[in-house]
Structure 1
Amino acid sequence: MSRQQSSDTPPEGWPRCESGPVEVMLLGTYHMDNPGLDVAQLDVDDVLHPERQAQLRTTVDALEGWRPDRVAVERPYDRADEVNAIYDEYRSGKRSYDAEEEIEPPHPSRNELTTECRSEVVQLGFRLADRLDHERVFPIDYPMTLANEAYEELAEDGFEPEEKIQFDQLDVSELEREVTEQIATSSIQEFLLWQNRERNLGVQSAGFFGESLRWGRENNFGGPKLVATWYDRNLRMVHNLWRAIESEDERVLVVVGAGHVHILRELLEKTPMFCPVSPLPSLEEAM
């Protein structure tokens, strides 16, 4: 298998992959089932609409050309059997990607039976693995509650961090407006191109470090603890990715919420077994 990414100039912010480490394409995406779990709450249309389904097929066409050996998804690692039981039903044709399906969600924070079929896990992860004739997909997530007692104590007390210096702060309402508008006026492939560009990848990290890190007083380190939990979760995801691969693997594609990409890239760059890869060349080539 060729390693084209190693010889081409990678997009801004991404390393050049040399021979040896497993290349990990981080496909950052919005949560297509709109579960309301992120900082920014988006107003998105239904991905089961025929026009969106056609766009999803085109997007998978673009990603298929990278020929990953495995597809990893943002579902709990310890629910791999449940995730793959659902994947088997799609792969066998028992369930259809373009139909509303009732599915017991393999995710502890979701309870709607008709949202999982709309998720990026199914619509991108399952669909791509199915196209590549993979027998399994690989959940790598380790869901964690970011808030902690110290942080909540500060919030209950009406704590506001000091404004010591001027710096760019995350405007959640502006982010919601911009992303919602971008989705509404773009195809899915166009939106993923926009979302995975360097200027957009660091937005959530800026929020963590610009806002949450400042929360604390005296012996209360609620904000730093929240940020540390975010790192902990993503470190466990990298570890679960290591568990998923086999010795002959060269490429893994990870379908993950875009807020994870910035930190996962940082962690994968520090992990000598892996090299993070941008999805932009694959998505742009098919435009």
Structure 2
Amino acid sequence: MKLIKILTIGQILLGTLGFSQEIKFNADRKGLESNVQKIEVLNFGTFHMGETSDENKTEFDENDKENQKAVHKIAAMLAKFKPTVILVETRPEYDEKLQALYKEYVKNPNMKFKNPNEVELLAYELGRLSGTKRIYGIDHKMSYNYKIAGEINNEIDKEMLYKYYQNPIPFHTNLKVDRDNLSLLNQLKFSNHDLYLDFLITVNADMLTHAGTKKGFEGADEAAKYYQRNLRMYSNLNRVKLTKEDRVFILMGASHTAFFRDFISRSPKYKMVNTFDYLK
């Protein structure tokens, strides 16, 4: 009988690196990065500018002319990335309509939308300025019960969870910002800062691991659903046919941006560019 040798990931890496190579583990990350050419991605988080089913909504009048001008100024900044592909938070089954409206907008940027959202205000304008030909939706809808802690007899970490959700700011002191008094540009800078993106993963998912019955994992299971939704959205990104020459702009609600930041940072296929190189 022929024996099949199964190598562990560790064995593969050791065999690839070779024992003769000396690695400086205190070197910066760049020194250890792959030389493989990756697809550049500008992963941009925003709040929902039109109607949304999200529990938390930022006050923003999407029909106000000055607000629309402010969004278009930001679109002009981001257009310097020159994306060849734009991905947005709509479901793939909506792509035909999404693309038809986009083509119509490119021909007539003065066209009116009844209640424009971030796709129509920001993504369409950015694409028009960049000459982008392709736009797709990568959203995947899944519900999860973020209120689960209040619906069960929490025997894991009830006191900590209660303190946190009463006021999370003391646990994230650098996030103490009066967002209502920020310009739109500074609001979006704030929304794309690593500290805020970390907070969004914590508050939307990770804190639920502090909730559960004596022998149950109710909170963790709900948090897993949010991770699953974002992983499925990331899988939708991977369904888009791309080449090494493509440059991808992704526009989503910032909590999804936070998860994608983590996924892309480890990806052998994609390379995330610095949002703040363009948002200035």
Give the TM interval when normalised to the shorter protein: 0.7 to 0.9
Whether contact under 8 Å (1:25, 1:254) holds in the other structure is: yes
Could you report, residue by residue, the CA deviation over 1:145-194 in whole angstroms, capped at 9, with x for unpaired residues?
A: 1239xx85x6444647524769983556979xx89942x43332222112
Structure 2 unaligned spans of 5+: 1-31
Write the distance in 2 (CA, Å) between the matches of 1:91 and 1:186.
30
Whether contact under 8 Å (2:74, 2:279) holds in the other structure is: yes
Write the distance in 1 (CA, Å) between the matches of 2:119 and 2:127.
10
Structure 1 unaligned spans of 5+: 1-14, 102-113
Whether contact under 8 Å (2:80, 2:130) holds in the other structure is: no
* 1:69 corresponding residue in structure 2: 84
**How far did 1:93 drift?**
2.1
Confirm whether residue 255 of structure 1 aligns to residue 251 of structure 2: yes
Residue 58 of structure 1, aligned match among 70, 73, 76: 73
Aligned residues with identical type, % of pairs = 22
Whether contact under 8 Å (2:155, 2:214) holds in the other structure is: no
Could you report, residue by residue, the CA deviation over 1:206-261 in whole angstroms, capped at 9, with x for unpaired residues?
A: 21455311222245322111221111111122221122242243321101111122
Larger Rg: 2
Could you report, residue by residue, the CA deviation over 1:91-120 in whole angstroms, capped at 9, with x for unpaired residues?
A: 332872xx442xxxxxxxxxxxx3xx2x11
Write the distance in 1 (CA, Å) between the matches of 2:223 and 2:160.
21
Report the 3-state secondary structure (helix = DSSP H, G, I; strand = E; otherwise coil) of the residue aligned with 1:68.
coil
- Give the TM-score, by structure 2 length: 0.75
* 2:60 corresponding residue in structure 1: 45
**RMSD of aligned residue pairs (Cα, Å):** 3.2
Whether contact under 8 Å (1:27, 1:278) holds in the other structure is: no
In structure 2, the CA distance between the partners of 1:218 and 1:170, relative to structure 1 (3 Å rule), is closer
Residue 211 of structure 1, aligned match among 207, 230, 235: 207
Residue 81 of structure 1, aligned match among 86, 93, 96: 96
Confirm whether residue 230 of structure 1 aligns to residue 226 of structure 2: yes
Whether contact under 8 Å (2:39, 2:244) holds in the other structure is: no
Report the 3-state secondary structure (helix = DSSP H, G, I; strand = E; otherwise coil) of the residue aligned with 1:253.
strand
Q: Which has the higher contact order (CA 8 A, sep 6+)?
A: 1
- Give the TM-score, by structure 1 length: 0.73
Write the distance in 1 (CA, Å) between the matches of 2:250 and 2:165.
26
* 1:198 corresponding residue in structure 2: 194
Confirm whether residue 135 of structure 1 aligns to residue 133 of structure 2: yes
* 1:283 corresponding residue in structure 2: 279
**How far did 1:30 drift?**
0.7
Residues 145-164 of structure 1 aligned to structure 2 (within 5 Å):
145-147=143-145, 155-157=150-152, 159=154, 161-163=156-158
Could you report, residue by residue, the CA deviation over 1:25-45 in whole angstroms, capped at 9, with x for unpaired residues?
A: 11111111152414x343x13
* 1:24 corresponding residue in structure 2: 41
Write the distance in 2 (CA, Å) between the matches of 1:163 and 1:50.
46
